[in-house]
Amino acid sequence: MWIDSHCHLDAPEFDNDREAVVARARSAGVPQMVLPSVTVAGFQALHDLAHQHRFAYALGIHPLYTSQASDADLTAMEARLSACRDDPQLVAVGEIGLDLFVPGQDVARQTHFYIEQLKLARKYQLPVILHVRRSADLLLAGLRRVGVSGGIAHAFNGSDSQAQRFVDLGFKLGFGGTLTFERSAQIRRLAQQLPASALVLETDAPDIPPQWLYKSAAERAQGVRARNEPCELPRIGASLAELRGWTVAETAAIVRGNTYAALPRLAAWDQARVVQGAA
């Protein structure tokens, strides 16, 4: 069994065939996903989607959407976290963080929302799912300022030192389609050399397609798009297995255990479902 630790199943790219996407994932051996939110306006729909398919979810304001957000959204987010605090499918605060890659961003504004959401995660004793894009050092500074109970550094693409500092703070590092590209030398080396206990797998679907879905610049210019799906996770896992010298079965077990360690409520909920199923 594989867990897609980061999938935007609520994205509009899936509006025409979402049920088929879920069916393909389950047929491929991906029965569980973590669905992070990006805006407060999307909380209810994400909650309903997660409950419809019995997936886990996280609540947060994505850094690239902070330009549209206000402090009233933080108040609404806290109200939702309070209302859902006993929902076993709510497993984290996320997707939150900082993005210094996209030009024209208001870093001070992103930082304000990041810190305030870390405070909410600490208050409600939830781990966090972090957006890390040329921002690892600033994110780490925030974590030292506002301690939280670990989580996942999603789509990690930092240095060895930054990776170790996240691990030292109790975080797992998310790897996905990027590690399937031979030219992604740094990410592949990290995935190969980090402690086994530090790794989780994700698709970030519909984004970050693996190598076999890649479209060239010329194809993209003609409007051809590569939509990633959670059903691709086992093949991404096979790429990690090859890098590590593990069997595919070993890889699935290792990254599943790491995901449960990063998101304890997910572990408890999945275990409860197994017991209920056995009963």
Q: Is the pLDDT of residue 279 over 60?
A: no
Place of tokens 């497993």: 91
- 253-262: average pLDDT: 98
Whether the bond between 95 and the residue before it is cis, its omega within 30 degrees of 0, is yes
- Cis before 230 (ω within 30): no
Closest by CA position to 180, among listed 135, 228, 223, 145: 228
Residue the block writes with tokens 């987010």: 77
Domain ranges of the chain: 3-278
**Token duo for residue 113:** 């929302």
What would the pLDDT profile of 196-241 be if each residue is shown by its tens digit? 999 999 999 999 999 999 888 787 777 778 999 999 999 999 999 9
User: For residue range 11-32, what is the model confidence (pLDDT) as tens digits?
Assistant: 999 999 999 999 999 999 999 9
The overall average pLDDT reported for the chain is 96
CATH architecture of 3-278: Alpha-Beta Barrel (3.20)
CA 274/CA 181 separation, integer angstroms: 36
pTM higher than the cut 0.75: yes
CA-closest candidate to residue 260, choices 201, 178, 212, 208: 201
